[in-house]
Amino acid sequence: MRETAIAVSGLRKAFKDKIVLDGIDLDVPAGTVFSLLGPNGAGKTTTVR
């Protein structure tokens, strides 16, 4: 049986009329190393918050 450390499905975030995240899905198994990489302004911090 696999345990999940992080599970996100359909994450969406908007600031007023500007959609900044639309439909992010994550499934990170427990005991694994996970990194979220991307250029500046890609939404990494917004995703983690």
For 37-47, write each residue's pLDDT tens digit. 999 988 899 98
- Strand ranges inside 1-49, DSSP E: 4-15, 18-29
Task: Say whether pLDDT at 1 is over 80.
Answer: no
| Helices and strands (H, E) in the chain, number of each type | 1, 2
Residue 48 token pair: 């983690």
Secondary structure (3-state) at 45: helix
Whether the per-residue pLDDT at 32 is higher than 90: the answer is: yes
Find the mean pLDDT for residues 23-41. Answer: 94
The mean pLDDT of 9-34, rounded to a whole number, is: 94
